Amino acid sequence: MLLLIILAITNGIINTEELPPSCSKPVYCNSKLLHYVQLARIYPDSKTFVDLQLRNDENTTLKAFDELLDQTNQNPTKDQIQAFVDQYFEPGNELEVWKPNDYSDNPAFLAKVRDNTLRQFASDINAIWPTLGRKVKPIVFEKPDKYSFIPISNGFIIPGGRFSEIYYWDAYWIIEGLLICGMENTARGMIENLIQLLKKLGHVPNGSRWYYEQRSQPPLLTAMVSLYVQQTKDLAFLEANIEALEDEMEYWLESQAITFVKCGKSHTLLRYYAPSQGPRPESYYEDYTIAQQFENKERQEEYYVDIKGAAESGWDFSTRWFIGSLGQNTGNLSTIHTSEIVPVDLNAIFANALQNIAYFHGLLRNTRKGAHWAYLAKQWRITIDAVLWDEADGIWYDYNLENGKHRKYFYPSNVAPLWMNAVERHVLKKHAPRVVKYLQGSQGLNFPGGIPTSLIKSGEQWDFPNAWPPLVSIVVNALRAINSHESQQMAFHVAQTWVRACLKGFTENKQMFEKYDVEQPGKIGGGGEYTVQTGFGWSNGVVLEMIKMYGRRLTATEPLDATGKNVVTVSEIKESFESVAEN
């Protein structure tokens, strides 16, 4: 069935007249009320309004606002709009603080961390989990229409700051951190929440808010399940949810796959594609303002689709999605063309997801189904190599559908096929030395505060000089997958640099941040549409991953010999290789 779906897909052209609304809740997605409130800039952050809860039902609220428009000749003042919002809305109060019942002050992995300072750092990060624990209040289940929050049954860990809901790809590194800390029940609950959303909407949304209904995020759900099952051997959980995981695969194949021709041969891969009407509700003012520079409504709607596609990628926003007049990654948000780019990381993640489904069926002894999914995974890996590998540079690159060329820029996502085991074994052996050479010459590994998201200083938050924890994790695990002496040393160096930078920031601020500055270790990152958030779910998970991975070798500061030179012993190198086998 899935193979037939793949073969049936052709290039899609956005038909703006047939786009669905952003979600099925007009107050929060497509209404005059949303438009007027957001353009009045009652709140500096557009997300604030769509996170409010209704005092009355939706129809009553929309009718009352129409009456206000009639009374003011369609031109209410800012004060009148503010008064309306105060009368018909109140601050969202969907969640209560929740302490996971499997939390421990002293998780077992800490005993294997040799450096006292790093052991304390890891312990301090572990202690953050209860502060980020939340659970949906019963009232949201009783009166769901009054909230933009989509109710989910289990307690969960929020990212932090303004992000008070569960987010899709954030959850992968949060769950990894939870499992490291022995919080298996909490991790399972997080996964179950995502599966509930999948069953409710037909896909896992960007986050657990209705205004995210029409877009997803990198499909890491099967990877989360794999982490959980490998640690717990919980085959009953797997058997209960395998069909839902297959449903997600079909969703991506039916909605985000695109077929195109390269070198005379037809190929099918995924792109980020989130077609729906209008601006992102949570960034309505920002999107609407930029769209006004376009002369016609069709171009505006194309812009909205591409800006949502970039948000779906998790990289919101980056020059990675800009296509200037010459096909380069130049311009600004007005030159965003996400739907014209075939991304390396998305396809690597999807190939891994297909293989995970095959692996799960193997565990459940569904041999025929497992073989089917394994075949699809293999075909996806072969296509990734055929389309995205650049032989001249020795690396995978995103592919521009408009001009049929690789986008030859440094992004950590370039090595995602290694991270996701989306490379055939014989291909890995062939490509590995080239990838190491590419990274060594890229300048991307040369900064004291981590790996930059790009080497371009655009002012966007997913560009230089910002380093994002997930991307550091991707590079470290990609280098470890190569498993040569040189790549292992590089992986350790990246992990050591990152942990020390985060330690410095934590020591100075007593907080973990969502992103950091690569030029100044521990400094908060900048750019983007909102202030830097603290907490922070995936930042905690990645540091714990690095400390667990290299706990016997990592140090908070460089050990020095009698002459003041850094010491790296043979035993430490040996321990690094042992940790690869151990993990």
CB crowding 111-142: b at 16 or more within 10 Å, else e: eebebeebbebbeebbebbeebbbbbeeebee
Our answer to whether residue 517 is catalytic in this structure is: no
Told to judge if 514 belongs to the known catalytic residues of this protein, a careful annotator would answer yes
Closest CA to 421 of 362, 377, 452, 388: 377
Beta strands 89-90 and 405-407 are unpaired
- Please report, to the nearest 10 degrees, the dihedral formed by the alpha carbons of residues 185, 189, 195, 197 taken in order: -170
CA dist 193 and 198 (Å) reads 9
d(CA 515, CA 318): 14
Task: Report the C-alpha gap between 314 and 334 in whole angstroms.
Answer: 18
Cis peptide upstream of residue 317 (ω within 30 degrees of 0) = yes
Do the Cβ atoms of 336 and 321 come closer than 8 Å?
yes
- What is the chain's Cα-based Rg? 24
The catalytic position among 94, 514, 517, 545 is 514
Catalytic residue (choose from 115, 176, 302, 316): 316
| Among candidate residues 304, 303, 311, the one with its CA nearest the CA of residue 272 | 311
If one counts every other C-beta atom within 10 angstroms of the C-beta of residue 268, the result is 19
Selection from 299, 318, 298 nearest residue 310 by Cα = 318
Q: How far is CA 292 from the centre of its chain?
A: 29
Q: Which amino acid is residue 382, in one-letter code?
A: I
Residues annotated as catalytic are: 316, 514
